[in-house]
Amino acid sequence: MNRAVLLTKPGALFNESVLLGLLARGCSVAMVVPGQAEADEYAGRLPERSRERFFPICGVPDDEAGIREAVDQAALRMGGLHDLIHGVEVADEAQAYASDPGAFGFGTTAALRSRFLYSRAAAAHMARNKAGHMLFLLLSDSLYYAGYPSSPVMNHGTIAMMKTLAKELSPFRVAVNALTYGYYALPEDPAGLQTLKRRLEIHTLKPYLPLPQEMAEASVEWLLRAPAHLISGQNIQIGAGMDPAL
């Protein structure tokens, strides 16, 4: 499947699995990374047959001109831009706010602004072709009650942005959606699996706990197969037993 995809957030949980899933399905993927060392590290973990379709975009300044140049560079290197994926931001907002409310506010504002600027720059490419899909990856707010990191402020700001962009870009046949991951197994704590399952019974009885890789695979499948011209402005949930939410 020859799709050109830009992934904006490396490193965090789920995002590398999304990268691997896209490359395994024949997509070309440009990924924003802090620097060349991180780019080389990512490339070194990829299957050799996938490396020629991996295009790291290094050291992007977090301002409008820098982000626009990065998106243009990604589209040029891949020969187009079909999809934009905003990777998962894993943060414990309750802890961040308690530690320094001012820094929390400024950090959240900067992160949302960055997502908007990447979306606007990508929209310029997609609108010209009257086709494209933007996807925001999120973690469910309700996971907070089971001890997972949770980012409700970032999530709801992102969902509001997603719905607004979906309306603005619909005349250009560009779909904009969010995809929210539910509960998942913590790979670093296999011994605590039964304790985690008991905590998650607030969501469903005897919960099945998928690994992050499995959920990332499901999101890649949905992105590549969804009829984007029919689905936009939606928050799709992946994970059995999820609570209904925005």
Question: Are 176 and 232 contacting, i.e. CB atoms less than 8 angstroms apart?
Answer: yes
Pick the CATH number of 4-238 from 3.40.710.10, 3.10.105.10, 3.90.1150.10, 3.40.50.720: 3.40.50.720
Write down the mean pLDDT value for the chain: 89
> For residue 41, what are the CA distances in angstroms to 34, 51, 59, 136, 139?
12, 12, 15, 25, 26
Q: State how far the Cα of 16 lies from the Cα of 173, in Å rounded to an integer.
A: 28
Token pair in block for residue 212? 């992050």
Which residue ranges make up each domain of the chain?
Answer: 4-238
pLDDT value at 1 more than 90: no
Share of the chain above pLDDT 90, in %: 66
| H or E element in which residue 237 lies | strand 235-238
Tens-place pLDDT, residues 73-109: 999 999 999 999 999 987 889 899 999 999 999 999 9
Question: Are 123 and 175 contacting, i.e. CB atoms less than 8 angstroms apart?
Answer: no
Q: Full-prediction pTM beyond 0.95?
A: no
Q: Per residue in 103-138, is it b (16+ CB within 10 Å) or e — as a string?
A: ebeeebeebbebbbbbbbbbbebbeeeebbbbbbbb
